[in-house]
């Protein structure tokens, strides 16, 4: 039966709920943003077996790689740092394999914050484990995650010829910033389409993919008040609709 609404998978994380029960969960802002854009959000548990990933990538019409804890440095041959936190090996395994499947199968996807880093690692790139201690950048990218999620932290400059600029309707925006890691070596299949004033990679696109975009900021925390950020989710959903109709 043909779907009347596209499905967007959102990668989740593990947490403890009431009575200390382990749960698979995703922040409601991702769910709300996808729903408002016109799609059905589906939470993908972080312990999804690897053998289920081809079927999962075939089932969903689009994908959001959500933000969260750090990727283990062992995935990209990086040096460990005492600043690395909230590592979830099951989630790393799932998201790296799911990203590779989404690229291979042409599934439209949007990577957000950690999601941008996952895309780069999945395609063979690596990361700065900590911007503050491993670079000379003075911009503060790791803002207060409790009180500053909706507040602009710095500008991003977007490549005029990019799909990202076309979707957002401009080449310079103020964005929030809730990360302490960033791309170091760019994967071969990626193109940098946005940077911070000091050069931190803030946006990438997958070369030759129908819709493979990732940003370092958190548009789900800005989309209610900023039409450009709403447009990013709508563009993902429109791409998902096209996949569903194929």
Residues 6-17: pLDDT tens digits? 999 999 998 777
Asked whether the predicted pLDDT for residue 208 surpasses 80, the reply is: yes
CA-wise closest residue to 202 among 194, 190, 210: 194
Is residue 12 within 8 Å of residue 43, measured between CB atoms?
yes
**Does the pLDDT at position 55 exceed 60?**
yes
Chain centroid to CA 94? 14
User: Tell me, what's the pLDDT at 144?
Assistant: 67
Number of helices followed by number of strands (H, E) in the chain? 7, 13
pLDDT of residue 71: 95
**pLDDT surpasses 60 at 229:** yes
The helix/strand/coil state of 208 is: coil
3 state DSSP class of 74:
helix
pLDDT > 90? residue 43:
yes
Positions of E strands within 74-149: 109-112, 127-128
What pLDDT does 161 receive? 97
Phi, psi of 74 (to 5 degrees): -60, -20
pLDDT tens digits, 124-167: 999 999 888 888 887 878 786 776 788 888 899 999 999 999 99
| Residue 175 near residue 154 (C-beta atoms within 8 A) | yes
Yes or no: is domain 7-245 CATH 3.40.50.880?
yes
Most trustworthy range by pLDDT among 20-24, 96-100, 178-182 = 96-100
Q: What is the largest CA-CA distance in the chain?
A: 55
Euclidean distance between CA atoms 99 and 89, whole angstroms: 15
Question: Virtual CA dihedral for 200, 132, 68, 183, nearest 10 degrees?
Answer: 30
Spatial CB neighbours of 76, under 8 Å, sequence gap ≥ 6: 121, 125, 126, 127
CA atoms of 125 and 191, how far apart (whole Å) = 12
Residue scoring higher pLDDT (202 or 22):
202
Q: Cβ neighbours of residue 20 under 8 Å, at least 6 residues apart? A: none
Position 3 scores a pLDDT of 76
Q: Would you state the pLDDT for residue 155?
A: 95
Mean of pLDDT values over 220-224: 92
Euclidean distance between CA atoms 223 and 33, whole angstroms: 7
Evaluated on CA atoms 53, 56, 57, 58, the torsion sign reads: positive
pTM of the model: 0.95
**Catalytic amino acids?**
113, 218, 220
**Distance between CA atoms of residues 121 and 103, nearest Å:** 13
Q: Give the pLDDT band (50/70/90) at residue 1.
A: low
């Amino acid at each position: 039966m043909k779907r009347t609404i596209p499905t967007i998978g959102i990668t989740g994380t593990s947490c403890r709920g009431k009575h200390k029960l382990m749960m698979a969960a995703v922040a409601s802002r991702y769910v709300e943003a996808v729903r408002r854009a016109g799609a059905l959000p589906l939470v993908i548990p972080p312990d999804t077996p690897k053998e289920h990933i081809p079927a999962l990538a075939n089932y969903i019409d689009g994908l959001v790689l959500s933000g969260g804890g750090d990727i283990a440095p062992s995935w990209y041959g990086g040096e460990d740092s005492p600043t690395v936190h909230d590592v979830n090996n099951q989630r790393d395994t799932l998201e790296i394999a799911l990203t590779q499947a989404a690229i291979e199968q042409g599934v439209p996807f949007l990577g957000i914050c950690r999601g941008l880093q996952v895309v780069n690692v999945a395609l063979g790139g690596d990361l700065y484990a900590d911007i503050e201690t491993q670079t000379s950048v003075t911009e503060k990218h790791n803002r207060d995650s409790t009180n500053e999620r909706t507040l602009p932290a710095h500008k991003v400059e977007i490549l005029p010829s990019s799909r990202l600029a076309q979707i957002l309707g401009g080449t310079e925006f103020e964005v929030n910033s809730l990360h302490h890691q960033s791309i170091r070596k760019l994967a071969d299949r990626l193109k940098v389409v946005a940077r911070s004033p000091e050069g931190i990679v803030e946006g990438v696109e997958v070369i030759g993919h129908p819709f493979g975009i990732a940003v370092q900021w958190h548009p789900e925390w800005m989309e209610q008040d900023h039409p450009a950020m709403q447009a990013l989710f709508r563009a993902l959903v429109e791409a998902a609709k096209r996949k569903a109709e194929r």
